[in-house]
Structure 1
Amino acid sequence: MAPWPEKVTKRFSTIPPNARENDFYAPYNKLLYTLFPADSDYTVAPQSYSLLDSRDSVDFIIEFEVLLEDKPVFFVEIKEPRKMTLKSAREEADNQMRKRMGDLAPSCPLDTLNGVSAFGTRLAFYNYDKQTRILPSRISPDPERETDTAPLDRWDYDILEDEGSQRFQDLVAEIKTKCDRL
Structure 2
Amino acid sequence: MAPWPPKVTKRFSTVPANARENDFYGPYNKLLYTLFPPDSDYTVAPQSHAVLTSHDSVDFVIEFEVLLEDKPVFFLEIKEPRKLAFESAREGADNQMRKRMRDLAPACPLDTLNGVSAFGTQLSFYTYDNQRRLLPARISPHPDIETDTAPLDRWDCNILEDEGAQRFKDLVEEIKRKCDEL
If the TM-score is normalised by the length of the shorter chain, which range does it land in?
over 0.9
What is the DSSP-based 3-state SS (H/G/I as helix, E as strand, rest coil) of the residue aligned with 1:19?
Answer: coil
Aligned to 1:181: 181
Which amino acid in the other structure matches residue 171 of structure 2? L
Q: Report the residue type matching 1:20 in the other structure.
A: R
The change in CA–CA distance for 1:84 and 1:56 in structure 2 (over 3 A counts) is farther
- Any idea what the Cα deviations from partners look like across 1:14-65, whole Å, max 9, x if unmatched? 0001100000000000000000000000000000011124426231000000
- Could you state the TM-score of these two structures normalised by the residue count of structure 2? 0.98
SS in 2 for 1:143: coil
Aligned to 1:66: 66
* Partner residue, 2:162: 162
State the partner residue of 2:124: 124
Instruction: Indicate the percent of aligned positions where both proteins have the same amino acid.
Output: 80
Q: Distance in 1 between matches of 2:21 and 2:5?
A: 23
SS of 1:103's equivalent in the other structure is: helix
Contact in 1 for aligned 2:45/2:66 (Cα 8 Å): yes
Structure-to-structure mapping, 1:26-41, within 5 angstroms = 26-41=26-41
User: What residue in structure 2 maps to residue 46 of structure 1?
Assistant: 46
**C-alpha distance after superposition, 1:47-101 (max 9, x if no partner):** 0011124426231000000000000000000000010000000000000000000
TM-score by length of 1: 0.98
SS of match in other structure, 2:178: helix
Distance in 1 (CA, whole Å) between partners of 2:130 and 2:159 is: 27
Determine if contact 1:2/1:165 at 8 Å carries over to the other structure: no
- What is the distance in 2 between the residues matched to 1:39 and 1:147? 46
CA contact under 8 A between 1:2 and 1:159: conserved in structure 2? Answer: no
* SS of residue in 2 equivalent to 1:93: helix
Q: For residues 56 and 81 of structure 1, do their structure 2 counterparts lie closer, same or farther at Cα, with a shift above 3 Å needed?
A: farther
Give the 4+ runs in structure 1 shifted more than 2 A.
52-56
Partner of 2:17: 17
Corresponding position: 1:138 with 2:130: no
CA distance in 1, matches of 2:3, 2:154: 23
Aligned twin of 2:6 = 6
Aligned length: 182
Provide the aligned C-alpha RMSD in A.
1.0
Unaligned runs of 5+ in 2: none
Cα distance between partner residues in 2 of 1:55 and 1:39: 43
Q: Structure 1 residues 175 and 20 mapped into 2: Cα distance closer, same or farther (>3 Å)?
A: same
Q: Which runs of 5+ in 1 are unaligned?
A: none
